[in-house]
A = this chain, B = another copy of it.
C-alpha cells in the first residue's frame, strides 16, 4: 500500500501517485499565485485585500444590501473571527455599517453603505479584468465548464449538508 520511498504509517495510507502529486503541486501553485495576484491588484487599485472585496460583493447581492454576520461568514466561507476583523476595517473605511439585528438582540447585521457601493462600482472593472485575464481568457470554454464542475464537487464534499462538519463560519 505504500511506495518504497514513502514514510510508513500505521494504517498504510494510499500515497499519491506521481500524476496525482503533479496535479496537487499545480493546484497549490495555481491557487496561491492567483490569490496573491488578485490581492495585490485589489490592494493597489481599491485599497483592500481580496477577501474584503468579496464581502462587499456578497453584501451588494443581498436583499437591501444587508446580511446577518453569521450569513455573511457562511456566504464567503470564512470564520466569524476573521469576518469580525474584516468588517471592523470595512466599517472604519466607511464602506460597511453594522446594526443590531431586530429579531435577535445578540445578532448583528452588516450593511453596504452608499460609499461602499461607490467603491465597488469604481473597482469592479479592474478586478473583473484581472479575473478574466488570469482564468477565463486562458481556458477553453470546455475547461471553464470542467473547472466549475470540479470545484462544485470539491466544495460539496467539504460542506456536506445537514451534518456537524467543522466549517469556518460555525467557529
Contact = CB atoms under 8 A, between A and B. Distances in A.
Contacts of A40: 166
Contacts of A143: 146, 149-150, 153
A113 to B, nearest CB: 16
A157 B37 CA distance: 11
Interface of A is mostly: helix
Interface residues on A, range: 35 or more
Interface in A138-171: 138-139, 143-155, 157-159, 166-168
Contact of A36 (B6, B145, B168): B168
A148 B9 contact: no
A14 B138 CA distance: 14
A106 interface: no
